[in-house]
Amino acid sequence: MVGLLILKQLHDLSDDEVVAQWVQNPYFQYFTGEIEFQWRLPIDPSSLSRFRRRVGEEGFEAILAESIRLHGKKARERTVIVDTTVQEKDIAFPTDSKLYRKIAEKCVKRESACAAAYRRTLPKPVKDQPNRSHPRRAKSARASARKLKTIAGAPVRELRRNLPADARERLGGELDLLDKVLAQKRSDKNKIYSLHEPEVSCIGKGKGHKKWEFGQKASIARTYRGGIIVGAKSFRGNVGDQQTLEPAFAQIERIAGVRPKDCLADRGYSGRKNVGETRIHIPGRPNKNSAVYQKSRDRKRFRKRAGDRAPQERLQARTKLSQRPARRQPESSHGRGGLQSKEMDQPTHFFGHRSRIGNTPGESIARCLKNQNTFSGPTT
């Protein structure tokens, strides 16, 4: 299961695709520990999602701890680089009218007494919502949004009245969620942005091309010299970057067995100079009383952190489930992705290593975990 998850993430595949390609690709089978070629599906694709839910945070933390253990002393550096990113969820850009429409459709599926009437009245206000910012459509779109809210609220109240006691108790949390969506306003805090992912938060990271991101904040820590990932933790809600430091350092100490002594971070972590025994270093003007070697050391550190910024962002993108890197088409003599690929006769690479016939499946997985966990900075 762990091997399939690694292949899924590495090759940007869905659960169904990675299982289907496993049957056709002998390298996939060898990577996951098979000795002889198999012709049947290893598992049902739905088992992967159940496995992810079952192992939870502790299980994936154990996988991370094993990849750190393979690096030995290199992973026990006392200086780390920490940064945060947004782990986006697979949801559409939320608007009130979209949520009202989803509530109405969800309640209609419960086969309420007025389901036929809701099916007749729902399509018209939904059609008035596209291009609602146009001056000629703004007034009718606002009126249609109010009508959608009325249509969505009626079946919710009807279900509360007509459902049996046992069903009302079983669906109580779901009905409370729908009531909260109908009652929330634009200026409220802790709003609900998705019915199937109610824990999603609206987070702004100051990006010019994407002002708001909807998901959870994640903190990634790597060693200063080796670039080994020693910590990866997600947080619910729009917490400040400073509040993620203590849980991140506790996870590093729990997994790697050593607490960082120095931490390099960006200006988003301003306000904290020390977190326990760890000193926080943020770029800024040097102190006048600092010695020359201290200024030179800090300048070297911050330049390395800034120079690794672009690869660090690519590394953060690879950790997002919904934003895996696109698959690279092999170069060929007939253009990109054409026939007679130059890479067809080359040995398969697993995480940057050539596959060798003499290696056992266990050694291949261990070597791949070790390389996947290593962060490569820019070459000079």
Q: How far is CA 13 from CA 9, 27, 323, 325, 331, in A?
A: 7, 16, 11, 10, 21
Q: Are 205 and 81 in a shared domain?
A: yes
- Secondary structure (3-state) at 78: coil
For residue 365, is it within any domain?
Answer: no
Q: Are 170 and 211 in a shared domain?
A: no
Q: Are 209 and 88 in a shared domain?
A: yes
Q: Are 133 and 177 in a shared domain?
A: yes
Phi, psi (deg, nearest 5) at residue 4: -65, -40
Q: Are 212 and 84 in a shared domain?
A: yes
For residue 112, is it within any domain?
Answer: yes
Q: Are 125 and 243 in a shared domain?
A: no
Cβ-based neighbours of 256, under 8 Å, separated by 6 or more: 68, 75, 76, 230
Q: What CATH number should be reported for the domain holding residue 80? A: 3.30.420
Q: Are 138 and 281 in a shared domain?
A: no
**170: buried, middle or exposed (CB in 10 Å: 19+, 13-18, 0-12)?**
exposed
For residue 42, is it within any domain?
Answer: no
Tens of pLDDT, residues 354-374: 333 344 555 555 555 555 565
| Residues forming beta bridges with residue 229, ordered by sequence position | 222
23 and 360 Cβ atoms separated by less than 8 Å: no
Q: Letter for the amino acid at 79?
A: T
Strands 278-281, 262-264: parallel, antiparallel or unpaired by DSSP? parallel
For residue 135, is it within any domain?
Answer: yes
Cβ-based neighbours of 112, under 8 Å, separated by 6 or more: 118, 155, 158, 159, 162
Strands 278-281, 274-275: parallel, antiparallel or unpaired by DSSP? antiparallel
Q: What is the mean pLDDT of the chain?
A: 77
Q: Are 86 and 234 in a shared domain?
A: yes
Number of domains making up the chain: 2
For residue 341, is it within any domain?
Answer: no
For residue 31, is it within any domain?
Answer: no
Of 275, 298, 325, which closes a domain? 325
Tens of pLDDT, residues 267-299: 888 888 888 889 998 888 877 788 888 888 877
As a whole number of angstroms, the distance between CA 18 and CA 7 comes to 7
As a whole number of angstroms, the distance between CA 118 and CA 63 comes to 49
Return the pLDDT at 349. 36
Cβ-based neighbours of 185, under 8 Å, separated by 6 or more: none
Question: Residue ranges of the chain with pLDDT lower than 70?
Answer: 109-117, 307-380
Reduced 3-state DSSP string for 176-234: HHHHHHHHCCCCCCCCCCCCCCCCCEEECCCCCCCCCEEEEEEEEEEECCCCEEEEEEE
DSSP secondary structure code for residue 35 in this structure:
S
Q: How far is CA 215 from CA 8, 91, 111, 367, in A?
A: 21, 9, 32, 32
Of 325, 356, 372, which closes a domain? 325
Q: Are 185 and 213 in a shared domain?
A: no
Q: Which domain holds residue 266?
A: 76-93+198-325
Return the pLDDT at 321. 44
For residue 30, is it within any domain?
Answer: no
Q: Are 222 and 158 in a shared domain?
A: no
Q: Are 101 and 174 in a shared domain?
A: yes
Q: Are 284 and 321 in a shared domain?
A: yes
Q: What is the dihedral of CA 352, 356, 362, 367, to 10 degrees?
A: -30
For residue 236, is it within any domain?
Answer: yes
Of 148, 176, 192, which closes a domain? 192
